[in-house]
Amino acid sequence: MFYLKYRPQTFSEIDNLQAKETISKILASKTLPHAFLLVGQKGTGKTSTARIIAKAVNCLNNKFSKNSSTKSFEPCNKCSNCQSIGLSSFTDVIEMDAASNRGIEEIKNLIRETSFLPMSGGYRVFIIDEAHMITNEGFNALLKTLEEPPDSAVFILATTNLEKLPKTIISRCLKINFGKANSVDILSMLKRISKAENIDMNDDSLELIAGHSENSFRDASKIFEEITLQKIKSVEEIEKFLGIRGRNDLIETIEKKDLKKTLVWINNFSQNGGDFKNLIEDILNQLHTQLMIRNNILESDAKKSILTLTEISLLMKLLIEAYQNLRNSPIDSLPVEIALIEFYNRISS
């Protein structure tokens, strides 16, 4: 699985530019914070980063090791500490999923663990995933420890829901924002993977994938893996795979103003399990872009439609009606069919 195989192992491999820069600054400075809070949507690199920090502060070959003179804060991924953290068998790194261990007892057990000195590393690192799930009592217990953490303890809290964390907890931690994955960052991950896998795919295709998995690195690498397994490469094939092709085909059919062909297209779309809500949204988006291009508000290399401005706005109006009627229609395809019949009627009269 690409998404596991290419989980970042060093800070430089974190393709989230903003988060990478923040962490690098923090770790390059003299003092190490004792509590981090990693915030962001799922699949943006929180767990990966927590593990890299755990390795970095325990690595035997970087600035955190007494026996090394280097200034680098990257984990070497070769020493015995890095390796056993990678295998989750390092006693000084403790990972807890607060989704299933949320109560006061679990937190107390964790706090008890903080009083022990590290066995083989420099720091005991406590990673608490889904931290917003902790109960109020749990948070209260944790707060005291976060106020005066032992020198040898580092806490890393990760959450997708910052607003569910008490302010008192947030203010004790150094916050690192992962936000959502943007397509530029995703593109850089896809390039990293294709280089390592020797996949020869052009930038247009990679950009198309990146643009359609906007929120998550994990989703992007899954889509990318499926596409390479199916040996798909061209932009057209990928568009078809991602379901974008349908929208373009329908607009081309509408441009020909042939009612029969249009109805056949819709029927096929419906038979293949197409989603009319998505279809209407896609087409409206497309028409909206055309509207902006026509009025010189937007510069785009999208193909210019042969429909006139009046036709475009009529079509949009009818499709919005169809969109509103979707929910009350006994047959999914009806609202779109009615909209297009009406469209052809009006433009020919």
Q: In what order do the strands lie in the sheet with 174-179?
A: 93-97, 124-129, 153-159, 35-40, 174-179
d(CA 230, CA 38): 36
* CB count in 10 Å sphere of residue 69: 6
CB under 5 to 8 A by kind: which of Mg ion, Zn ion, ligand ADP, none does 4 bind?
Answer: ligand ADP
* Distances in whole angstroms, Cα of residue 53 to Cα of each of 77, 85, 88, 146, 155: 12, 11, 14, 18, 10
The helix or strand, by DSSP H or E, that contains position 275, with its residue range, turns out to be none
43 binds ligand ADP (CB under 6 A): yes
Cβ closest to Mg ion, residue 156 vs residue 223: 156
- Contact between 52 and ligand ADP by CB under 6 A: the answer reads no
Stretch that binds Zn ion, among 79-87, 145-153, 218-226, 254-262 (CB under 5 A): 79-87
Nearer of residues 191 and 245 to ligand ADP, judged by Cβ: 191
Count of other CB atoms within 10 angstroms of residue 81? 25
Residue 2 buriedness (CB in 10 A; 0-12 / 13-18 / 19+): buried
Residue 55 interacts with ligand ADP (CB under 6 A)? no
The entry of Zn ion, Mg ion, ligand ADP, none near residue 16 (CB within 5 to 8 angstroms by kind) is ligand ADP
Contact window for ligand ADP (CB under 6 A) among 10-18, 198-206, 281-289, 294-302? 10-18
> Which residue stretch of 42-50, 59-67, 238-246, 290-298 sits at the interface with Zn ion (rule: CB under 5 A)?
59-67
| Part in contact with ligand ADP (CB under 6 A); list of ranges 29-37, 214-222, 230-238, 270-278 | 214-222
Instruction: Check: CB of residue 60 under 8 Å from CB of residue 32.
Output: no
48 contributes a contact to ligand ADP by CB under 6 A: yes
Q: Which of 81, 221, 262, 286 binds ligand ADP (CB under 6 A)?
A: 221
Residue 8 binds: one of Mg ion, Zn ion, ligand ADP, none (C-beta under 5 to 8 A by kind)? ligand ADP
Binding of ligand ADP by 107 (CB under 6 A): no
Q: Is 182 in the site for ligand ADP (CB under 6 A)?
A: no
Helix, strand, coil fractions of the chain, as percent rounded to 5: 55, 10, 35
User: Given candidates 22, 24, 41, 47, which one binds Mg ion under the rule CB under 5 A?
Assistant: 47
Q: What's the CA gap between 247 and 240, in Å, rounded? A: 10
C-alpha pair distances (Å), 219 with each of 18, 42, 334: 20, 10, 33
With respect to ligand ADP, which residue has the nearer C-beta, 183 or 290?
183
Q: Could you say whether residue 7 binds ligand ADP (CB under 6 A)? A: yes
41 binds Mg ion (CB under 5 A): no
Interface pick for Zn ion out of 32, 79, 142, 181 (rule CB under 5 A) = 79
Binding part of the chain for Zn ion, among 75-83, 116-124, 238-246, 322-330 by CB under 5 A, reads 75-83
With 0-12 / 13-18 / 19 or more C-beta atoms within 10 angstroms meaning exposed / middle / buried, residue 97 is: middle
> Does 124 help bind ligand ADP (rule: CB under 6 A)?
no
Cβ 179 vs Cβ 45: under 8 Å: no
By the rule CB under 6 A, 175 interacts with ligand ADP: no
Please count the other Cβ atoms lying within 10 Å of the Cβ belonging to residue 140: 15
Reduced to 3 states (helix: H, G, I; strand: E, B; else coil), residue 141 is: helix
247 vs 252: CA distance, rounded Å? 9
List residues near ligand ADP by CB under 6 A.
Answer: 3-4, 6-8, 14-16, 40, 42-48, 189, 217-218, 221
List residues near Zn ion by CB under 5 A.
Answer: 59, 61, 75-76, 79, 82
